[in-house]
Amino acid sequence: MNKFLPYLFAALILTGIFFLFSTGKSKKEKQLNEKITLRKTDKIPYGTYVAYKGLSYLFPNASVFPSKDEPGFWDSLSNYDNKQAYIVVADHFSADDDEMRRLVKFAKNGNDVFISAKTVSDDVTDALGCRTMDLSDPIFTEDEGVVTARDDSLSVSLQKPFFPADSIFYYPGRNFSSSFTRTDEDITNELGKGGAGVTNFIHLKAGKGNFYLHLAPLAFSNYFLLHKNNIQYYEMVMSVIDPAVTKIAWDEYYMSKGERRRNNNRNKGWFTVLMNTKNEAGDKPFRAAFWILILLMLLYVLLEMRRKQRYIPVVAKPKNDSLEFVKTIGRLYYDKANHKNLSHKMAAYFQEHVRAKYKLPTSNMDEEFIKALQYKSGVPDYEIRGVVSFIKYLDDAPAISDKQLSEFHKQLETFYQKA
């Protein structure tokens, strides 16, 4: 045992060194969560937890609540009251024409509508008389013939005379913003700009209220607001909303629509992408080729099935062998001229037929039997009397001629046909 102790101690020392370097000193550098959610409950860098919670401090007299309802069908906001605010922070503001009409009508009653989104639908730009351009893609600059990509960071500013001074706010995070390429100067006020000097924040008067459109939603993210003194940007931007508002709705309707759109795009497989690929003429050649292939395969299967079909032989109807057997036995008895024996067997078959079909006893074929059989079978009584009389005659007759046998057979056949 003692000779194994050095090896045991060496193994323990090596194990301790391994755990020391793997757990104690080899700590991975913490990575920044770059997922953009803009959800009010997310405390990750690109959530909006700080912005949502800050509304209660900026508007202490207002009730702040989330809203998952379509514009104009809110449970907590009124379409007829004033002193209310509706705030949307999302990656894509996808309001259609009807929704924009309801939002504008809501603003005209003396309310504020504040939208911050990277992109907006065509119905939004048509309603507000503006056009936008996405700035999230890398921006390249050329210096002495060398093309380099500018850092993906966000810089925003607010303008005089709407704000006290031109203030610039910056953070090293994601850009995720757009800019206005055209606005209606007669009805639009430019409130803020991006880092490249492009307009990204405008105001439009709507009746007694206001409509604000902001194109840099990450300026309301936790990362941006907690970077240096950027919280001042949030306070100054929110100051455009009437400080006397009594209700503020933080929208989650367009947030959920955007998440569904992203999930649908994410769930698209390579086949869907291939089918929707267009050429220079705007056609979808892969989709056309796919359907042609399906039709050719279907045609091949149909032709192959037709070629493999075999002739189905006609199956003859089964013969009634028992009937042939009876006829054969009858001919055998007839050929032997044993007409009385054959008549007895025919009479016995008749009696068995009456007992089985009409449930009548045949031990005593009297007048009562004839009436009962006539009633149940519907055969005239005189024909039944003929059959019964011949059966009774068989017991005393010394022999039966060919003519009597033939006549008895006709009586029985007539009975079977009419019964």
For residues 18 and 339, the model is more confident at 339
Q: Dihedral sign for Cα 322, 323, 326, 332, please.
A: negative
Instruction: Measure the CA–CA gap between 387 and 79, rounded to whole angstroms.
Output: 103
Average pLDDT, the chain: 81
Q: Give the Cβ contact number of residue 360 at 10 Å.
A: 17
Q: Which residues fall within 8 angstroms of residue 118, CB to CB, at 6 or more apart?
A: 91, 92, 134, 136, 176, 177, 178, 215, 216, 217
- Encode burial over 97-108: b for 16+ CB neighbours within 10 A, e otherwise: eebbebbbbbbb
Residue 26, SS3 per DSSP = coil
pLDDT bin (cut points 50, 70, 90) of residue 292 is confident
Percent pLDDT > 90 in the chain is: 38
Please give the structure tokens belonging to residue 92.
Answer: 């894509």
Per-residue pLDDT at 289 = 84
Residue 333, SS3 per DSSP = helix
On the question of pLDDT at 317 being above 90, the answer is: no
On the question of pLDDT at 24 being above 50, the answer is: no
Domain boundaries, the chain: 49-137+151-267, 272-307, 321-418
Instruction: Measure the CA–CA gap between 127 and 130, rounded to whole angstroms.
Output: 8
Chain position carrying tokens 């900026």: 58
Per-residue pLDDT at 26 = 42
- Rounded mean pLDDT, 324-337: 65
**Digit-coded pLDDT (tens) for 381-415:** 888 888 888 888 887 888 888 888 888 888 888 88
Q: Which residues fall within 8 angstroms of residue 97, CB to CB, at 6 or more apart?
A: 123, 126, 127
The answer to whether 86 and 111 are in contact (CB under 8 A) is yes
Please give the structure tokens belonging to residue 246.
Answer: 């009594």
- Rounded mean pLDDT, 72-96: 92
Instruction: Measure the CA–CA gap between 198 and 135, rounded to whole angstroms.
Output: 10
The answer to whether 48 and 39 are in contact (CB under 8 A) is yes
Per-residue pLDDT at 323 = 55
Q: Give the Cβ contact number of residue 327 at 10 Å.
A: 10
Instruction: Measure the CA–CA gap between 373 and 249, rounded to whole angstroms.
Output: 96
CATH of 49-137+151-267, one of 1.10.287, 3.40.50, 1.25.40, 1.20.58: 3.40.50
Among the listed residues 212, 213, 171, 217, the one whose alpha carbon sits nearest the alpha carbon of residue 195 = 171
Q: Give the Cβ contact number of residue 333 at 10 Å.
A: 17
**Digit-coded pLDDT (tens) for 224-249:** 999 999 999 999 999 999 999 999 99
Per-residue pLDDT at 23 = 46
The answer to whether 419 and 379 are in contact (CB under 8 A) is yes
Per-residue pLDDT at 75 = 87
- Rounded mean pLDDT, 269-296: 75
- Rounded mean pLDDT, 79-98: 93
Q: Give the Cβ contact number of residue 215 at 10 Å.
A: 29
Instruction: Measure the CA–CA gap between 338 and 334, rounded to whole angstroms.
Output: 6
**Digit-coded pLDDT (tens) for 105-162:** 999 999 999 999 999 999 999 999 999 988 765 444 444 444 344 457 899 999 888 8
Lowest mean pLDDT among 18-27, 47-56, 305-314, 381-390: 18-27
On the question of pLDDT at 8 being above 80, the answer is: no
The answer to whether 116 and 141 are in contact (CB under 8 A) is no
Q: How many Cα atoms occupy the beta-carbon half-sphere of 173 within 13 Å? A: 28
- Rounded mean pLDDT, 72-84: 91
- Can you list the pairs that 403-412 forms with residues at least 24 positions away whose Cβ atoms lie under 8 Å? 404/339, 404/343, 405/334, 405/339, 405/342, 405/343, 408/343, 408/346, 409/346, 411/383, 411/386, 411/387, 412/346, 412/350, 412/387
